[in-house]
A and B are shown apart, each in its own frame.
Chain A
Amino acid sequence: MALGFITIYWRDMIRFVRFKTLLVSSLLQPALWLAFFGIAMSSSFDTLMAGMPVLPGVPNVGYLTFMGAGIIAMTTLFTSLFGGIVILFDKNWGLMREILASPMNRNHIIFGIGLSGVTKSFIQAIIIMVFGILIGAAFFSGFTPLEILIGVAGILAFVGMFALGFLFLSAAIAISMESPEGLQGVTTLLTMPIFFASNALYPTDAFPEFLKILSMYNPMTLLITGIRYFAIGPDFIALGKHYQYTQSDILVSYLGLAFFSALMFGLAWWRFKKAVVT
């Protein structure tokens, strides 16, 4: 039964590719964010920042590049937090009963949904990177082909771990809820603080103390730190702020995400164990 989650994954992927509207919209949405919000914001920010002093030898990246990492993270957050909704639909349509009455361990449902969510996030992240580069984001600029490869792998590793955490959370909420509206409400409530109390769109240095601490432990910030490290580099200036990441910073961020995902898995495991669906 060790591969039961592959079965869940297989089914979810069938649905993903079969729902053409969902497929297209989920692929188009991040690109649109980048195209409209990104270009609009970066043109005004870059004008504002034009006069800022630069450090010799340190690359100064434009706002599009800076927030491109944030858009990858944001898309992953939205997709993942919403990813558990399939469980809710299965539950409401009675389809979950077939699965719960089967000998398969319930953890496989959690892992299967997690894996399919991660796959979707990978596809989206790659689309944003490609599209970002097309419209002028300086991802991987000055990287050797090997470094680009490592960069992409690193970004996906961060995106994957982050996505898992929020998919587990979403699955835990979904199995405990009765209606899709409830899940929608909770996820909307969660996305606000997670997204805005992070370094997705702006540096967090000027935050008030409370918000600063919140953002420091925010999985979103950990993810974005990782993406920027792998997409831009360990040393750059953006929005007039000098960013420097060491390898141990990145390792700590990743471990933070891993810890968060493990915690969320525990939550989902508990909720699924308790779940009664008849």
Chain B
Amino acid sequence: MPEPRLNNREIIISVENLEHSYGDFKAVDGISFTVKKGEIFSFLGPNGAGKSTAINILITLLAKQKGSASVAGYDVTKDPQKVRESIGIVFQDITLDRDMTVWEILEFHGRLYNMPREERKNRIDELLRLVQLEAKKDERTKNLSGGMKRRLEIARGLMTRPKVLFLDEPTIGLDPQTRMRMWEYIKGVNKEGTTIFLTTHYMDEADQLSDRISIIDQGKIIISGTSWELKNTLGQDLIYLETNDNEAAIRLLKNVPSVRDIKIKTKGFVVMVNEDGTKVLPHIIDTLRNEGIDSSTINLKKPSMDDVFVFYTGKEIRDEPAGKPFHPVMRPGGR
């Protein structure tokens, strides 16, 4: 299997048979996984799949109910304090005080974690440079754009030089360009040595960023692996066909050696092939024509993360309007 570069690294997050229920609803239903030091690991799944619940347990905001979980070598239940000292968090919604300045946000965070004054000062300067917010140092956060707010939050998450940075839907609600710039920041941070645990419901985000991905749905991990491995489980290529007799065609093609699996669609079907699709396709067309089956539509493509997701969960992730948006519902003059 490819991507051996992380195989020998030490494990920094370890989760076994983790379960969490809200009443009768099992939000997390017995998941197990490990994250290695220095990697970018993603939880990919639709909203409500249990990603945030899992992350909340790992960051010690939610008490563990069943199973075991440790972060940076510390058990989340026995040593929550140590876990907290070892991690940085970027929450799903923007969690910035609108009336504090960029500098104050970072200063407050540094103080919360008991960083010495001199170190705070240096770290803030360093991080503002990293996320390119030096010019906004004394700006109140309510005057920042969405992308700037997210960058500030990433800087805050990195303030205490955490071993693991948790990012819960880091690019939710951002425009495509800003998202891509965020990815660059995240990759940069990872290159500096910070392990990154990311949840997302964006396929491309998981695909582009992660060393390894776990697809999670209805509280369960469906499959884990590198992006390459996951796509490869669907074969090398996907061939979409519409014919005048789909049933007969599928029966025929099942016996072709290089065909791995066939998925039925509304009007046609998808043939997953183990070999180069451009080579297999003429053979498939011939096989069908010999039996008098005509193809009306043919399409060849490489498996994408969407295909992987649809294949394993049986549904597509619809891009819902930015999850739970940040709505300051009540904001009276006084508080």
Contacts and interface: CB of A to CB of B under 8 A. Distances in A.
Binding between chains A and B: yes
B60 A101 contact: yes
B161 to A, nearest CB: 14
B113 A89 contact: no
Most buried by A among B61, B62, B96: B61
A28 interface: no
Interface stretch (A11-19, A34-42, A133-141, A206-214): A11-19
Interface in A94-121: 94-95, 97-104
Given A14-B104, A103-B85, A276-B61, A93 B328 contact: yes
A58 B326 CA distance: 63
B127 interface: no
B187 interface: no
Contact of B62 (A6, A89, A94, A276): A276
Given A277-B61, A278-B62, A22 B100 contact: no
Contact of B95 (A19, A98, A103): A98
B111 interface: yes
B335 A86 contact: yes
Contacts of A277: 61
B294 to A, nearest CB: 57
A276 B63 contact: yes
Given A1-B114, A103-B81, A180-B330, A85 B60 contact: no
Nearest to A18: B99
A188 interface: no
Interface residues of A, number: 33
A154 B63 CA distance: 45
A102 B61 contact: no
A246 interface: no
A262 to B, nearest CB: 26
Contacts of B97: 11, 15, 95
Q: What class of interface size applies to chain B in its complex with A? A: 35 or more
A44 interface: no
B271 to A, nearest CB: 44
Interface string A238-258: 000000000000000000000
A102 B84 contact: yes
B197 to A, nearest CB: 14
A277 B62 CA distance: 8
A103 B84 contact: yes
Nearest to B109: A98
Contact of B112 (A7, A18, A22): A7
Nearest to B100: A14
A11 B107 CA distance: 10
B333 interface: yes
Contacts of B63: 276
Contacts of B108: 7, 10-11
Name the prevailing secondary structure of the A interface residues. Answer: helix
A27 to B, nearest CB: 12
Nearest to B85: A103
Contacts of A10: 108, 111
A4 interface: yes
Interface in B107-155: 108-109, 111-114
Interface in B259-299: none
Most buried by A among B52, B56, B91, B97: B97
A93 B96 CA distance: 8
Contacts of A25: 333-334
A246 B329 CA distance: 52
A19 B333 contact: yes
Nearest to B63: A276
B61 A104 contact: no
Interface string B27-66: 0000000000000000000000000100010011111000
B95 A102 contact: no
B2 to A, nearest CB: 36
A106 B59 CA distance: 16
B93 interface: yes
Most buried by B among A10, A95, A103: A103
Nearest to B94: A94
Given A14-B100, A19-B99, A278-B61, A99 B56 contact: no
A15 B103 CA distance: 15
Interface in B66-85: 81, 84-85
Interface of B: 52, 56, 59-63, 81, 84-85, 89, 91, 93-97, 99-100, 104, 108-109, 111-114, 156, 326, 328-330, 332-335
The 10 closest A-B pairs by CB, nearest first: A7-B111, A94-B95, A102-B112, A22-B334, A103-B84, A21-B333, A278-B56, A103-B85, A89-B335, A94-B93
22 contacts: A1-B114, A7-B112, A11-B97, A11-B104, A14-B100, A86-B335, A92-B330, A93-B328, A94-B91, A94-B95, A97-B91, A97-B95, A99-B112, A101-B59, A101-B60, A101-B61, A103-B81, A104-B113, A180-B330, A180-B332, A276-B61, A278-B52
Interface of A: 1, 4, 6-7, 10-11, 14-15, 18-19, 21-22, 25-26, 85-86, 89, 92-95, 97-104, 180, 276-278
